[in-house]
Structure 1
Amino acid sequence: MSRPVLWFDFGGVLSPPLPDLFTLFEQKTGITPEQMHAALSRMGDDFGTAALAPIELGAMSEREWAARLAAALAALHPDLDLSRLRTDGFGAQWFEGVSANPRMTAALCRARDLGLGVGVLSNNVVEWKPYWTAIIAPAGRVDNVVDSCEVGVRKPDPEIFRLAEKAAGVPPEDCILIDDLAENCAAAEECGWSAVRFRDDDQILRELSALAGVHLS
């Protein structure tokens, strides 16, 4: 590997871990993580794909998706109070009070300062861009952003890794994915990338430093 390009996922890597985000959302809405996961599972069954896929591919508006989420929650939990759930402006509510993972943004900054390529490779949503980009703003400049809703393909589809390689102008063996989902890491490796699955800050910084050949912690 020559000069590697580190591709950071947003949700669960540059953001706080997903369980923390679900807990924070419960504080805002009264909807528990278990209730959310059950509703998302039902939506996935209805869509025949991942629950977030329609909005992460830009095929459905946030408003319609959130309305379907509310309907799934109501069907599963008829007595659940949904009065605090914002179906119009779901992303604003979801990201309210969310800050970037400071150790991961510091690692991104250090990697960039050491001359490595840095990018964001994320499954994300058109309407959420103002919020998540503001959250990671403390990390400063990145070389490339490949966002599923903008390119029309999402992880773990191999095509998104091909698009990222093209954006960075590097071969697959020069790319390293940092992601919290095993299926995305496996897909990246099948495309010839290296990948490190995020479990906690100490683990990821140790493994990523060894793989990239630089000290990032």
Structure 2
Amino acid sequence: MIWFDFGGVLSPPLDDLFDSYHARTGITPRQLKTALAAVGAELDVEPLAPIELALLTEEEWGRSMVRVLEEANPGIDLSRARFERFGEQWFEGVRANPVMVSAARHAKEHGYRVGILSNNVVEWEPYWRAIVAPVGEVDCIVDSCRIGVRKPDPEIFRRAEKEAGVPAEECVLVDDLAENCTAARRVGWRAVQFRNSAQAVRDLAGLIGLPALV
């Protein structure tokens, strides 16, 4: 069973999404990341955990983001940002990573089960599902906001195993974050850290013996 992360693997790199959001709203990646961290810190969790664990609704979280951005950046122009519907604006125009889509389809064609294991947000589901639609039907989706556990918590991997009915030794994670790959390996999974598309496809093929993607 090959589990693909959504953000940064099946989607474009996260830095590209931050840059695109900056171009649309004028909010710099640094300003946005600092605000994400501040809102998370208020709940004593990681930056995106408030919405990836559904501790806050998107609207509640959006209000908090506006507040901390204005506090940290007096006079900041937020007129182009729609934090109450952040996901809709964040994913506007985003297309799936075509190489990783091909890799997922290639794996399915060669008899591997494919799943998506993602830290994600309840209100963002229509947008990210539309983005990954080119992958086609997958065997299992495990989403942090639906189960109340997020990567790299070891429990999310156990929940994924149970949901898919697959033992740890048959699970492979493809994820762009080193800490998620490390956590997966600690519970008996194998993992490929995505750094770029060519490297990830090559490493995955080498790890599981998948024929080369032409």
Q: What is the TM-score normalised by the length of structure 1?
A: 0.95
Q: In percent, how many aligned pairs have the same letter?
A: 56
- Using a 3 Å threshold, how does the CA distance of structure 1 residues 216 and 140 change in structure 2: closer, same or farther? farther
What letter is aligned with 1:109? R
**Cα 1:216–1:16, aligned 2, differ >3 Å: closer, same or farther?**
farther
1:176 matched to which residue of 2?
172
Residue 88 of structure 1 aligns to a residue whose secondary structure is helix
Match 1:59 to one of 55, 59, 62: 55
Moved over 3 A (4+): none
Structure 1 unaligned residues grouped into runs of 5+: none
- Which is further off, 9-18 or 167-176? 167-176
1:198 aligns to what?
194
Equivalent residue, structure 2, for 1:212: 208
Aligned-residue CA RMSD in angstroms?
Answer: 1.0
- Assess if the C-alpha contact under 8 Å between 2:100 and 2:197 holds in 1: yes
TM-score for both structures, normalised by structure 2:
0.97
The one-character-per-residue Cα deviations of 1:9-29 (angstroms, maximum 9, x if unpaired) are 000000000000000101111
Say whether 1:106 aligns with 2:102: yes
Match of 2:43 in 1: 47
Q: What's the CA shift for 1:39?
A: 1.3
Are the counterparts in 2 of residues 188 and 195 from structure 1 also a CA contact under 8 Å? yes
Q: Residues 48-197 of structure 1 correspond to what in structure 2 (within 5 A)?
A: 48-197=44-193
Aligned to 1:20: 16
One-letter code of the match for 2:87?
Answer: G
Paired residues in the alignment total 213
8 A contact 1:107–1:216 mirrored in 2: no
Residues 39, 69 of structure 1: 8 Å contact kept: yes
| Alignment partners' CA distance in 1, 2:6 and 2:122 | 14
Q: Structure 1 residues 61 and 23 mapped into 2: Cα distance closer, same or farther (>3 Å)?
A: same
